[in-house]
Chains A and B, each alone.
Chain A
Amino acid sequence: MRKLSRLSRFNIASLALGLAFLYLPILILVIYSFNASRLVTVWGGWSLRWYHEFFNDRAMIEAAWMSLRVAVSSATIATLLGTLAAVALSRGERFRGRTLFSGMLYAPLVMPEVITGLSLLLLFVALNAERGFWTVTIAHTTLTMCFVAVVVQSRLGSLDRSLEEAAMDLGCDPVRAFVAVTLPLIAPAIVAGWMLAFTLSLDDLVIASFTTGPGSATLPIRIYSEVRLGVKPEINAICTLVIALIAVVIVIASLVSKLSSSQGESAAPL
């Protein structure tokens, strides 16, 4: 605390500038979502009018519902697959091509979204799959699975291997040992991975716009198309709601991962 009070003026100024650069646009958006005026740039007093308007906008509500469904289902599938991949990579025998497999698993982390989206679109067209809820869900699963795998694998890596051996020594077969000891210990990482996948899916525009079909637009697609015709104050209200939702999820995820790392200390060898 004493260090903080001795910050120079330059430090305070640069801190304020940095924070303003990051959060001022969001703050303005939030404030203007409560604007009574029809014009986005003119302040006309406080009002909840645009929130009311959003809840009466059937198309918007449908898009939001679609986004939520996609986010929940793709996050769930991604968590399942990502956890399995992480377990295979950190616990399985050193199989041939392991390095290649882990490299391929993490490729979507660095792959431009346009390429992921386009390649999936080509695949769905080639398969003659009807584009809609399931194609977006699959696309989002391929994107978010690697994030889950990274989170879960780092947790598995910090776990003492002898914990599983101790469980086997005390009468568990390998599967039981995993369920009774490993799973409870990596559960926080799995939850954090799910939430990460959920937020990633919720705010994705690029991949969704490639892989969705007519009549099943997600919220970001819907917002984007509205904005192209001119920004309505209603968009500000929707964005504020999305920010609030994501903020809540991120706070929960960080709390959960904090809990998991404090447990991990006692799991590490002395």
Chain B
Amino acid sequence: MTDELPRTDAAANAASGDQHPVAGQPLLRIEGVSKNFGTFRAVDGVSLDIRAGEFFALLGPSGCGKTTLLRMLAGFEAPDEGRILLGGKDIAQALPHERPINMMFQSYALFPHLSSQDNIAFGLKRAGMARADIAARVAEMVALVKLGGLEKRKPDQLSGGQRQRVALARALARRPQLLLLDEPLAALDKKLRESTQAELMELQRRLGMTFIIVTHDQEEAMTMASRIGVMNAGKLAQVATPRELYEAPRSRWIAEFVGDVNLFDGEFRLRDGHRLVIATREAGTLVAAEPREPVSETKLSVAIRPEKVKLSRRGPVFEAGRETAINSLDGVIADICYLGGTTTYKVKLDDGGMVQASVVNSARLDVDAYSVNQRVIAWFTPDDCVVLSS
């Protein structure tokens, strides 16, 4: 999350470069795009701006419309409503081959009757490039995705990871203004997926190209993307940086979809400066920082991430310089889940609710560990609370 700065630099560089015609303006503008399949509304009034050089992720559960939106960008589906502007030109009704956009398919869709290099050269031949230029570009792509020595192999003679590279090289070969990636890492095993994530990010930064990736894996989206658009039931629920999405989710649904969260429903009682006092049913009265957008409802939810919840045997531990207004809840350890790097404790609160606390195992010997049925105090600051309308 700390390396957001160099990425925005890359975006600015790419935007001022000659590859992207209109600097400063968004490369891609999606305006009120909707798509129906029969009576089912797959994409519902989505508006979104994508800047040049951005690594954007569309995240959502399966069936949320993210793939349909991507397919409309590629041209395989035509939107029923709305406009799709690429560099200021409406391409909503253009056919796939008329768009300076390429896509990497989830199944890779490599042509089984062609070798790796012929797969990569396919789009270049169609573009009418000279033979020598094609050979040079293919060699460049092969080097870029580290496929050396496999140029003559057919797809069925390649491993899953190698096929993924061929598919990527083929999509990049035409130097599209926009590269779409449909769940590009879904077919790879965990280790390979992690190293490929890093390579994709490195590649995107080096080429200064604009990537839009579709994924259902929130960790993947968080790791790779500079901005994430979360989709639910055809609508864009929130567009934000990974940190914003995690720390300031805009709705209950997003808070629960992205990462783990403790949620307490309650009612607004009073305002104390920039603090809201909320009476919850399951965790007593909580003090929370006022959200940026003022809340009008009286029925509110308080969301706290498990790693923000601290446990202690006696009282809250006050750190120097911290606010003193603190939420502290009494309870009993109900369940312990050891995960290696962290341990998740479930605490049964005296007020009836359950709160999860994720504690980093910073010492090798379990001097600090708690045991089941031990009485503890779970505490967190008002700033750790996110207030959401129910």
Could you tell me which A residues sit within 8 Å of B by CB distance?
A: 160, 162-163, 165-174, 176, 180-181, 184-185, 263-267, 269-270
Contact = CB atoms under 8 A, between A and B. Distances in A.
A266 B155 contact: yes
Which of A167, A169, A172, A185 has the most chain B CB atoms inside 10 A of its CB?
Answer: A169
Contacts of B160: 270
A171 B97 CA distance: 4
Given A169-B74, A185-B112, A263-B156, 15 more contacts: A162-B109, A165-B96, A165-B109, A168-B76, A169-B101, A170-B97, A170-B123, A171-B123, A171-B127, A171-B174, A180-B122, A184-B113, A185-B113, A266-B110, A266-B112
Contact of B111 (A163, A173, A270): A163
A166 B163 CA distance: 14
Tell which of A168, A174, A263, A264 has the most Cβ of chain B within 10 Å. A168
B107 A169 contact: no
Contacts of A176: 126
A266 B158 CA distance: 10
B188 to A, nearest CB: 10
A169 to B, nearest CB: 5
Interface residues of chain A: helix, strand, loop or mixed (majority) = helix
Given A163-B109, A263-B112, A168 B96 contact: yes
B170 interface: yes
Given A168-B95, A168-B97, A171-B126, A160 B187 contact: no
A226 B126 CA distance: 60
Nearest to B105: A162
A165 B74 CA distance: 9
Contacts of B95: 168, 173-174
B299 interface: no
16 contacts: A162-B106, A162-B109, A165-B105, A166-B105, A166-B109, A166-B111, A168-B96, A168-B97, A169-B103, A169-B123, A171-B123, A171-B127, A185-B111, A266-B110, A269-B106, A270-B107
Contacts of A267: 112
Nearest to A266: B156
B280 interface: no
Nearest to A181: B111
B264 interface: no
Interface of B: 74-76, 95-97, 101-103, 105-113, 122-123, 126-127, 154-156, 160, 163, 170-171, 174, 187
B84 to A, nearest CB: 16
A185 B154 CA distance: 14
Most chain B beta-carbon neighbours within 10 Å: one of A167, A184, A264, A265: A167
A170 B111 CA distance: 12
Given A162-B105, A168-B97, A169-B96, A263 B122 contact: no
Nearest to A174: B95
Contacts of A165: 74, 76, 96, 103, 105, 109
A268 B171 CA distance: 19
> Which of B102, B112, B126 has the most C-beta atoms of chain A within 10 angstroms of its own C-beta?
B112
Contacts of B127: 171
Given A265-B156, A266-B112, A270-B160, A172 B107 contact: no
A51 B122 CA distance: 54
A170 B174 contact: yes
Contacts of A172: 97, 126
